[in-house]
């Protein structure tokens, strides 16, 4: 039984090695160029927010907070 498993393992290993060598011949290091145009779209959303504080000579003057909701509402 053990001998049968070793023979089977050796046979499968040899088959995998031969298959990978045959596959390696088909692979080219130069990519193929298609004659057709290709497009891809990547959706992306970015909503900025602005926060600032204005002070002069250690005296607090004003603060501004602008959120994406305020920007979209105007």
Contact, 60 vs 53, CB < 8 A? Answer: yes
Asked whether residue 49 is assigned to any structural domain, the reply reads yes
- CA dihedral of 64, 68, 70, 73, whole degrees rounded to 10: 160
At residue 23, the pLDDT reads: 54
Asked whether residue 13 is assigned to any structural domain, the reply reads yes
At residue 25, the pLDDT reads: 55
At residue 66, the pLDDT reads: 86
Asked whether residue 34 is assigned to any structural domain, the reply reads no
Asked whether residue 12 is assigned to any structural domain, the reply reads yes
pTM of this prediction? 0.32
Q: Per residue of the chain (74 residues), what is the pLDDT tens digit?
A: 677 888 888 888 878 777 666 555 556 677 777 778 888 888 887 778 888 898 888 888 888 888 888 877 87
At residue 58, the pLDDT reads: 84
Asked whether residue 47 is assigned to any structural domain, the reply reads yes
Helix/strand/coil (H/E/C) assignment for every residue in 20-43: HHHHHHHCCCCCCCCCCCCCCCCC
Q: Could you give the angle at the alpha carbon of 32 between the alpha carbons of 30 and 36, nearest 5°?
A: 155
Domain holding 55, by residue range, is 2-28+39-73
Asked whether residue 58 is assigned to any structural domain, the reply reads yes
Asked whether residue 17 is assigned to any structural domain, the reply reads yes
């Amino acid at each position: 039984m053990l001998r049968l498993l070793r023979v089977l393992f050796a046979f499968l290993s040899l088959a995998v090695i031969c298959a990978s060598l045959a596959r390696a011949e088909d692979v080219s290091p130069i990519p193929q160029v298609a004659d057709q145009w290709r497009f891809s779209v990547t959706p992306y959303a970015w909503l900025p927010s602005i926060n600032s504080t204005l002070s002069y000579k250690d005296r607090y003057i004003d603060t501004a907070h602008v959120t994406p909701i305020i920007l979209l509402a105007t």
